[in-house]
Amino acid sequence: MTENDRTEKTGIDAEKFGNFIAAMRREKGMTQKQLAEKLYLSNKAVSKWERGLSMPDIAVLEPLADALSVTVTELLHGERDAVQPASNDMTEEEIKCLVAETTDAVVENCSIHQKNKKKHALLYAVGASVAWIEVLLLYLQGERVGITDEQISLDVLLIAILPLIFGIWFFFLIREKLPSYYDTEKINYYSDGFFRMNMAGVHFNNKNWPHILKAGRAFCFLTPILWPAVYFAVRLFVPYEIWRLIGLFVELLVVLGGLFIPMSVMGKKYEK
């Protein structure tokens, strides 16, 4: 069942619900901690609601709505009604059904996310292991073809390590779905903690984001595996004096071009 199907079935979009809570909280000038204190909960609970990772218990809905000066109906629909109702127009039974079904959908999403994390962890581990084995073999056998340990450290090890560092973010930390405002605004940058990504001419949204992530993960998986073998093959035919002249350009092309060109192409291809 797709996310849209679940939304139609339950009537609640968990992400929209969370964004609405965050917007109303900020409108009231409250922090997550202050809102949590009003509800006698932890600020972690509020954070999970706002990120669409969980739904509040039905007993919390009315005090939450009161704290945000909205109705329960508006809260569950994630938007203000065009005409303010005099009172909540949903029965308690309807609210229970909506919350229960939406909670099931959130749990299903979390389950899928956990499976993907395991798959990503396996891919990362395989890529890293193969890369380190190849680098070790180069250190052991390189001198036979005139490749010194110093050259391996400068030309191979660095190019293998950088994608693995990027891979920690792409495989484990990056968000699988962008906030909903990326679908309505033309935004060509993404910020998450210390990480910043900007692509001129490409607008990020939830249509192209999965394809951008696939391109980034492919780079982080393939480059550490392929580069040691490619370097070894090139050095069999290219003297080090010539490599010193072209090596830096080739390495920049591999690292920067190999990462951003495929991501830009995929982002533009699947952009709305």
Number of C-beta neighbours around residue 155 at 10 A? 23
Structural domain boundaries in the chain? 3-90, 112-269
How much is the pLDDT for 3?
A: 39
Are 41 and 59 in contact, with CB atoms under 8 Å apart?
Answer: no
Nearest Cα neighbor of 219 from 164, 271, 265, 138 is 164
C-alpha 247/C-alpha 251 separation (Å) is: 6
**SS3 track for 202-232:** CCCCCCCHHHHHHHHHHHHHHHHHHHHHHHH
Distance CA 168, CA 79 (A): 36
Answer for the pair 60, 39: CB distance below 8 angstroms, yes or no: yes
**Residue 81, C-beta contacts closer than 8 angstroms, at least 6 positions apart:** 71, 73, 74
pLDDT value for 7: 40
Q: Which helix (H) or strand (E) holds 93?
A: helix 92-141
- Angle 144-150-152 (CA atoms, 0-180°, nearest 5)? 65
* Burial bucket for residue 25 (CB in 10 Å: 0-12, 13-18, 19+): buried
Stated pTM of the model: 0.62
Q: What is the pLDDT of residue 16?
A: 85
Contact between residue 18 and residue 76 where contact means Cβ atoms under 8 Å apart: no
Q: Which CATH number fits domain 3-90: 3.40.50.740, 3.30.1050.10, 1.20.140.10, 1.10.260.40?
A: 1.10.260.40
Say how many CA atoms lie within 13 Å of 39 toward its Cβ.
27
Rounded to 5 degrees, what are φ and ψ at 56? -70, 155
Q: What is the mean pLDDT of each run of 10 residues along the chain (272 residues)?
A: 40 79 92 88 85 79 88 82 51 56 53 78 95 94 88 91 93 82 79 78 92 95 95 89 90 90 94 80
